[in-house]
Structure formats: structure tokens, C-alpha cells
């Protein structure tokens, strides 16, 4: 943790607490509740020491000129969280074996409470996440944000992009309807044409030379344990580096020298 002297954050005027009047009663229930809350936070912080991290994360400055394009990264993260949460609810009903998979998805769509809605959010959320990740990548590309000292963050980003596409690929099979089945058969075959590792990769995905019942459970395990874990960990590393280096200023911003340095102070 770098030892930073952080300035008190400027609070917009409307949110500034009003100073207490001298004759004000200090022992209302609200006052007690406030003190209780602060006391509890203090208790935890005394034992965990996380407030330094919180200040480091929240009260760092973002450079002058930061604009809406800079929200695309966090928007990608929220799309990922949406996938994670809706995915948990789908997993409560989904049955990853070739005999029951289709039926369980049909049950989710037609019978389970809000089932089709949650499935729809997961399905369309995947498109939204892919669009956002490409937009975010385009932003960092055109702003030259991959240059020194943020090269490593770009590399982590590309890994996230590949993993996101792998999520889409493995998830597409799970409803186990005609379209998803045949698209995946062709997709795995395409993998197999690759040089050297191609055939091995295909055999690994299919769990053997043929498309069998094990293939589905393998895709399921990859889709809901292996890749999401890797993505979550990499997003953590990505955001750590973002916070550490700070986000870039837009490339056309020029630093003005502090006027105090130029003119004599009265």
C-alpha cells in the first residue's frame, strides 16, 4: 500500500453537513443511531485496517478531462456481474446432462417464476457484454492508453477478451436445442483444424473423439466454474492496476503549469 497523503474530498455544497447549533439536543435516537453506525465501522476497521484501502480506492483523483468514454470499462464489469448473478439463478434449475438439459431449460422458460425473464437477461446480457468489451478496447486503443506504464493492463485486457468469447462459446451449447447443438459441433470441428494443438483442443472440449453426453457436462463445468473464476481474478488484477497507475487523461489534454509557480503570490 503506497503511503499517500490524501486531501479531504470536496463534497458538493448540497451534501455538506450543517454545523450543529450550540443549543441543539444531542441525544435523539437519530444521534445514537449515527454514533452506533460510526462505532461499528470503527470497530471493524480497528481489526481489519481496510479504511486505508477504501480511501486509496475512492478518494484518488481522476485526471482532468475524463469523459463518458471512461465509463465503458466499469460498464463491462457491471455486464459481467449481471451474467454472474443471473447465471447463479439459472444454475439452480439447470441440469447439465444430455437427457435432461433441454427439459430443464424448457422448465426455466415456461414454468419457473420469472424464469424466462432471467434467462433473457443472461442471454442478452452476453451480447451487451461483448459489445461493451469491444467498445472499451477501442477506447483504450484510440486513446493510446496501452502505452507506458499501462502495457500490462492491456495484456490482461486481451486475456479477458478471449475468456469472454470462450464464455459465449461454451454457454451457447447449454440450452441443448438444435441450433446450439449443431453450431457447437461445427465450432468444435473448426477448432480441430488448427495446427498442432487443434485436434487436442477439440478432443478436450468434446471429452473424446465424438460428441457425447460427457461433452455437455464438460462445457457446463468450463462455463460456470473455470472461466468465470479466471475472469473474476483477472478483473481484480486489471482494476488494481487501473487504481495504481490512475486512468489516462484524454490524449489531447495538456497540463497547464500551476499559475502559482509563475506569478508572484501577493
Partner 1 sequence: MNHRQKEEYLREYSILKNQGKPFWPYAVAKDGAMAAVVIGSIILMSIVLGAELGPKADGTTTTYVPRPEWYFFFLFELLRIIKPPELVPLATIGIPTICMILLFLLPFYDRGPERRPEKRPIATTAGIFTIVAMGYLTYLGAAAGSPNEIEMEPPPSVVAQGEQMVEQFESGKQVVAQAGCLACHKIGENGNDGPGPHLDDIGARVGRDAIARTMVNPTAPMPSYAQLQEENPERFNNLVAFLSQLKGEEEE
Would you tell me which residues interact with ligand HEM (CB under 6 A)? 70, 72-74, 76-77, 80, 133, 136-137, 140, 145-146, 150, 153-154, 157-158, 160-161, 235, 238-239, 242, 247-248
Interface with partner 1 includes 255 (CB under 8 A)?
yes
CB-CB neighbours of 94 under 10 Å: 19
Using CA atoms, how far apart are residues 161 and 249, in angstroms rounded to an integer? 23
**Listed residue (125, 180, 150) closest to 246, CA to CA:** 150
104 binds, options ligand HEM, partner 1, none, Cβ within 5 to 8 A by partner type:
none
80 or 172: CB nearest ligand HEM: 80
Interface with partner 1 includes 220 (CB under 8 A)?
no
Instruction: Tell me the CA distances in angstroms from 149 to 66, 71, 154, 159, 235, one per residue in order.
Output: 18, 21, 10, 18, 18
Three-class secondary structure of residue 89 per DSSP = helix
Using CA atoms, how far apart are residues 151 and 154, in angstroms rounded to an integer? 5
One of 43, 53, 124, 200 touching partner 1 (CB under 8 A): 124
- Is the peptide bond preceding residue 148 cis, with omega within 30 degrees of 0? no
Min dist CB 20 to partner 1, Å, is 23
One of 59, 88, 91, 225 touching partner 1 (CB under 8 A): 59
Using CA atoms, how far apart are residues 265 and 259, in angstroms rounded to an integer? 10
50 or 158: CB nearest ligand HEM: 158
89 or 146: CB nearest ligand HEM: 146
- Contact segment (CB under 8 A) with partner 1 among 19-27, 31-39, 102-110, 217-225 equals 102-110
Amino acid at each position: 500500500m503506497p503511503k499517500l497523503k490524501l486531501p479531504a474530498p470536496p463534497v458538493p455544497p448540497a451534501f455538506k453537513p450543517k454545523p450543529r447549533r450550540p443549543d441543539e439536543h444531542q441525544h435523539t435516537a437519530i444521534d445514537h443511531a449515527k454514533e452506533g453506525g460510526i462505532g461499528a465501522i470503527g470497530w471493524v476497521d480497528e481489526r481489519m485496517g481496510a479504511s486505508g484501502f477504501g480511501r486509496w480506492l475512492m478518494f484518488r483523483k481522476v485526471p482532468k478531462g475524463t469523459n463518458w468514454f471512461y465509463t465503458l470499462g466499469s460498464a463491462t464489469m457491471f455486464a459481467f456481474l449481471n451474467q454472474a448473478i443471473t447465471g447463479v439463478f439459472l444454475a439452480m434449475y439447470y441440469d447439465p446432462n444430455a437427457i435432461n438439459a433441454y427439459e430443464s431449460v424448457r422448465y426455466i422458460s415456461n414454468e419457473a417464476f420469472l424464469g424466462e425473464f432471467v434467462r433473457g437477461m443472461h442471454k442478452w446480457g452476453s451480447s451487451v457484454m461483448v459489445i461493451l468489451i469491444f467498445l472499451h478496447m477501442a477506447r483504450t486503443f484510440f486513446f493510446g492508453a496501452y502505452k507506458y506504464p499501462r502495457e500490462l493492463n492491456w495484456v490482461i485486457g486481451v486475456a479477458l477478451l478471449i475468456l469472454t468469447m470462450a464464455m459465449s462459446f461454451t454457454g451457447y451449447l447449454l440450452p441443448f436445442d438444435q441450433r446450439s447443438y449443431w453450431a457447437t459441433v461445427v465450432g468444435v470441428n473448426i477448432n480441430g483444424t488448427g495446427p498442432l494443438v487443434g485436434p487436442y483442443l477439440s478432443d478436450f472440449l468434446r471429452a473424446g473423439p465424438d460428441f457425447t453426453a460427457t461433452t455437455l457436462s464438460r462445457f457446463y463445468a468450463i462455463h460456470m466454474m473455470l472461466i468465470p473464476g479466471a475472469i473474476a481474478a483477472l478483473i481484480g488484477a486489471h482494476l488494481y492496476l487501473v487504481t495504481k497507475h490512475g486512468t489516462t487523461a484524454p490524449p489531447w489534454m495538456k497540463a497547464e503549469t500551476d499559475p502559482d509557480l509563475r506569478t508572484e503570490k501577493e
